[in-house]
Amino acid sequence: MNAITPIEAGVSVALGAPIDVTIENVQKAFGDTPALHGVSLDVKAGELVALLGPSGSGKTTLLRILAGLDAPTAGRVLFGGDDALGLSVQQRNVGFVFQHYALFRHMTVFQNIAFGLTVRPRGERPPKAEIRKRVLHLLDLVQLTGLDKRYPSQLSGGQRQRVALARALAIEPRVLLLDEPFGALDAQVRKDLRRWLREIHDRTGHTTFFVTHDQEEALELADRVVVMSKGRIEQVGTPDEIYDAPASPFVFEFIGESSFLPVTVVDGAVQLDGQSLDLAALGSPHGEATLGFRPHDVSIVEDGGPAITGTIVTERRHGGARRLELEVGTEKHRVEIDMPVDHSRAPGGQVTFRPHRWRLFPR
Amino acid sequence: MAATTIATVRKSSVIPGFGLALGVTLTYLSLIVLIPLALLFWRSASGGPEEFIRISTDPRTIAALRLSFTTSFIAALVNLVFGMILAWILVRYEFPGRRLIDAVIDLPFALPTAVAGIALTTLYAPNGWIGAWLQPFGIRIAYSQTGIIIALIFIGLPFVVRSVQPVLEDLNREVEEVAATLGANRRQTVRRVVMPALMPALLTGFALAFARAVGEYGSVIFIAGNSPYKTEIAPLLIVIKLEEFSYSGATTIAVLMLIASFLVLLAIHLIQSWSRRRYGDV
Amino acid sequence: MSDGAFTTARLHGASGIHFRPVTMERKRVRLALILISLAFLALFLVMPVLAVFVEAFRGGWPAFAEAIFEPDAAAAIRLTLLVAAISVPCNLVFGVAASWAIAKFDFRGKALLNTLIDLPFSVSPVIAGLIYVLMFGSQSLLGPWLKSEGIQVIFAVPGIVLATIFVTFPFVARELIPLMEEQGRGDEEAALSLGASGFQVFFRVTLPNVKWALLYGVLLCNARAMGEFGAVSVVSGHIRGLTNTMPLHVEILYNEYQFAAAFAVASLLAVLALFTLVVKSVLEWRYADEIAATRRH
């Protein structure tokens, strides 16, 4: 559906220019339990940032601190260079979308979206006709034209989520915060809404944070991904950087598929059980390290050169490839590699391979 | 439809004892509740419509019914306000003694009405603990309509609290948080987001308290003064008619009261099914 | 971490201690609401109960003991226990049968049956008494026959029992039905498939699953049975030593201006009420999950 752009409709959705958000050494503890240990992050105006991590990584806590729903134990948050922590939730002017929508179920879709405008003090409240115009425009934007008189209970999950977004956009927020926005939806609806959210963002240009534990979602949707674990930021980068150059074994394992082997770096060369693997480790410190590679980033070696040899434990079909689970080295470490479908190998046999893309993490 | 009903009965009938259980239930229900109540309606009708109308329109009957309904309504309103506040503090706040208060709320359910009646009378009589304080100001509670309202507040107190409490516990806090991010201050959030969500429970609690109050006898008769046309409640008038062997009088008033409470029950039912239909389980 | 950042957070009251979540009212408002509630409860609940005990012991222990062990009072206590001992088991059997039928089977008219079980809750106690007078009194259809057979129902113990059963009718069923509906039929079907007989299923599977709710219902049923006043008053005839239950005895003493004695007997009923509340609360706290209807009455 080709919705009207905000400019064409003559009603702006974003209030002025989007703002930068700066998070400086934000710490948070619930009682004695630390939830965030000194998180710092600079987000540029109009960026779409994913906070990615497993549950308990502190990503939702960070989002709630940005919204003012929680207060940090220490640290600073700046909206457009101005301190935001001194502002109440109401003054902060952020649009917040909850995973389970949190729609007002006794209000129609129209009343839900109009709520933020109708609670403004009399002097700042737009006239009724203006509110109506804006709500109907937002309904167009989220592709729910004509559903204004429905109650939330009469909508599907995806429709409810779009109402929640329209309601957040209605107050012309300075920052948009989405907490697992697609977490409660079916796989297919998730995919559609993901594309749609990206389009909306490109059109409205809000500085947007969204929390997710779905790496695919984060990589596909975000300008930059913030990978979090145990209350700390593990890595910040573009989807390419996160995927191709993970900064830690945690990121490597969390994003995409991965196999690890304990190795030793001797004079800039990687060794396994004292045997060189013909992998150059220039710049890596001497000593113990972890070699990480993705199952599909390996080549089968048949020329007898230095490589990794393993015994096949299982073999199964995996999408467009054949996935082998191998036991490698004297310690029988388990790793997974992919082979072309036509290379069927029986368990018990030997395979020799060499990763053509890999990362070394000193231990 | 019929076929599926039979089919489901048969399907679930791997569990034994349906015939016995339903038989016991229906027999007992009929003997204890249905037949005696039906007899009441039959007896009130057997005097003919003239007799029914004559007693219904008797000024003493009308005065008693009006008194019962107005005092019950006022008491239920008071319980609506304080029940709401009590439910709120019990669900939302942590303070010492919270659990004790939660338990104490049910006291009116557990304390025999006659005991409540004489205790309240002792407190509010002109020479009582509280009555003596009010006496100099010319405020008279016992032996007046105010006394009746006090007793009805007592017995109706748990209904609103216990109706609202579970709904308030289930209320999603995120809804209030989202209202705040949209710029609503606390008062706007409570008035426009929380209260409408609680409204069906509040109305149900109000209706239950009201229905209970209309039929209440034990706690009221001690404190009421029981003077005809002034402080004589409808249940008391039934007892008086019965003592005068005026069975038609007693049955007529009883039927009028029963119809009223059935209407209240119907109202509760409609409130609940309406709110379920409208708001669903979002 | 720089000192500056830390100070800023502190300055804005962000240190957690001063932070007020948006779902929480201001401290002033919270305090006011709690105080209003406490005052209301003190005035309407605590003071009356206190008054009962203070008035009961106004004459000291000897007067209290005399009021309780005096023959008419003792007879009233015995009658109250007898009435409860008959009516509670009756409603227990009915409650179990009704909840078994409603929770474990589907049949037409189930919703209606559910509603009818609750009916006695919405009938004035006085009317509950009245219907039995109409049914068994001297004016009734059965009256002449009962008289010729020498059976007395009204102004006698059977009438009191019937009226008590009526007003306490729904208590056990009300606790069991929602819980058993929630538990479904899976356990019973599993037990049957393992070869258990119907009785084994009931006593070894169903009953253990609902025992706390059953106790809870019986407790409330008993409290109401012993304390019932209006319905019993209509059918009793107030014959001292014969058809007076404890609440009726309290009324008679009170109307005879024997206040201390009236409150002495009343205090026994108040103790029963407080005991009921304590056990009820303990059940609610410890077995909240096994009592479906914790919050409904």
Q: The whole model's pTM is what?
A: 0.85
Scan residues 169-188 of C and list those with Cβ closer than 8 Å to A.
none
When pLDDT is averaged across residues A177-194 and rounded to a whole number, the result is 87
User: What region, left, alpha or beta, does residue A329 occupy, with left being phi > 0 and alpha being psi -120 to 50 degrees?
Assistant: left
Closest CA to A106 of A62, A59, A68, A153: A153
Closest B-chain CA to C251: B114
What are the angstrom distances between the C-alpha of C122 and each of A317, B144, B259, B262?
67, 26, 10, 8
For residue A226, give how far its alpha carbon lies from the nearest alpha carbon of chain B (Å).
24
Chain C positions in Cβ-Cβ contact with residue A74 (cut-off 8 Å): 1, 5-6, 9-10, 15
Q: Is residue B8 over pLDDT 50?
A: no
Average pLDDT in the C182-186 region? 85
The closest alpha carbon to A103, from A58, A51, A144, belongs to A144
Length reported for chain C: 297
**Facing C297 at nearest CB: one of B99, B102, B162:** B162
| Whether the Cβ atoms of residue B189 and residue B195 lie closer than 8 Å to each other | no
Q: Which is it for the CA torsion A197, A200, A206, A207, positive or negative? A: positive
Query: Which positions in chain A touch C12 (Cβ < 8 Å)?
Result: 83, 85-86
B12: number of Cβ within 10 Å: 16
Q: How far is the alpha carbon of C3 from chain B, nearest alpha carbon, in Å?
A: 30
Token digits of residue B167:
């709904």
- A24 touching chain C per CB within 8 A: yes
Strands A259-266 and A269-272, sheet pairing: antiparallel
Query: Helix, strand, coil proportions of chain B in percent (round to 5)?
Result: 80, 0, 20
Amino acid at A38: G
- C130, B256 contact by CB (below 8 A): no
Degrees to nearest 5, angle at CA C173 with C171 and C179: 115
Instruction: Find chain B residues with C-beta within 8 A of A95's C-beta.
Output: 181
Residue with tokens 């007395």: C152
Does the beta-carbon distance from B183 to A152 stay under 8 Å?
no
CA distance C228 to C174: 19
Residues B223-273 pLDDT 10s: 988 888 889 999 999 999 998 888 889 999 999 999 998 898 888 888 888
Average pLDDT, whole number, for chain A?
A: 88
Name the residue of chain A whose CA is nearest to C13's CA.
Answer: A86
In this predicted model, what pLDDT tens digit does every residue of B186-226 receive, in sequence order?
999 999 999 999 999 999 999 999 999 999 999 999 998 88
Q: What average pLDDT does this structure show over A266-286?
A: 81
Q: How far off is chain B from C183, nearest CA to CA, in Å? A: 14
Per-residue confidence band for A68, with pLDDT thresholds at 50, 70 and 90: very high
Contact list in B for residue A96 (CB cut-off 8 A) is 177-178, 181
What is each CA distance from C7 to A66, A82, A88, A89, C1, in whole angstroms? 18, 16, 18, 21, 11
ipTM exceeds 0.90, yes or no? no
Pairwise CB contact (< 8 Å): A94 & B184: no
Contacts of B180 in chain C (CB under 8 A): 22
Do C180 and C202 meet the contact criterion of CB atoms below 8 Å apart? no
Maximum CA extent, chain A: 81
- Structure confidence at residue C292 (pLDDT): 59
pLDDT digits 0-9 by tens, C118-128: 889 889 999 99
* CB pairs < 8 Å spanning B and C: 287
Whether chain A has a CB inside 8 Å of the CB on C121: the answer is no
Contact indicator for B137, B225 with CB cutoff of 8 Å: no
Give the list of residues 6+ apart from residue B37 with CB closer than 8 angstroms, or none: B258, C119, C123, C131
pLDDT at A73 (0 to 100): 92
Q: Closest Cα partner for C262 from C243, C240, C247?
A: C247
Cβ-in-10-Å burial (0-12, 13-18, 19+) of B5 comes to middle
> Tens of pLDDT along A40-61?
999 999 999 999 999 889 999 9
Give the CA diameter of chain B.
74
CA-closest candidate to residue A360, choices A275, A300, A271: A271
Report the residue from C1, C8, C12 with minimal CB separation from A38: C1
Set of chain C residues whose Cβ sits within 8 Å of the Cβ of B122: 51, 55, 259, 263
What pLDDT digit, counting tens, does each position of A300-312 carry? 888 777 888 889 9
The answer to whether the CB of A15 falls within 8 A of the CB of A21 is no
Chains in contact with A, where contact means 3 or more Cβ–Cβ distances below 8 Å, are: B, C
Contact at CB, A72 and C22, closer than 8 angstroms: no
SS3 A33: strand
B174/A98 Cβ within 8 A: yes
Residue A6 has pLDDT above 70, yes or no: no
**Pair C170, C120: CB distance under 8 Å:** yes
**C-alpha neighbours within 13 Å on the C-beta side of residue A353:** 28
Q: What percent of chain C has pLDDT over 90?
A: 53
Dihedral sign for Cα C180, C185, C186, C190, please: positive
| Exposure string over C232-259, b if 16+ CB within 10 A, otherwise e | bbbbbbeeeeebbbbbbbbbbbbeeeeb
For residue C15, the model assigns a pLDDT of 43
Q: What is the pLDDT of residue C12?
A: 40
How many angstroms away from the CA of A175 is the closest CA of chain B? 11
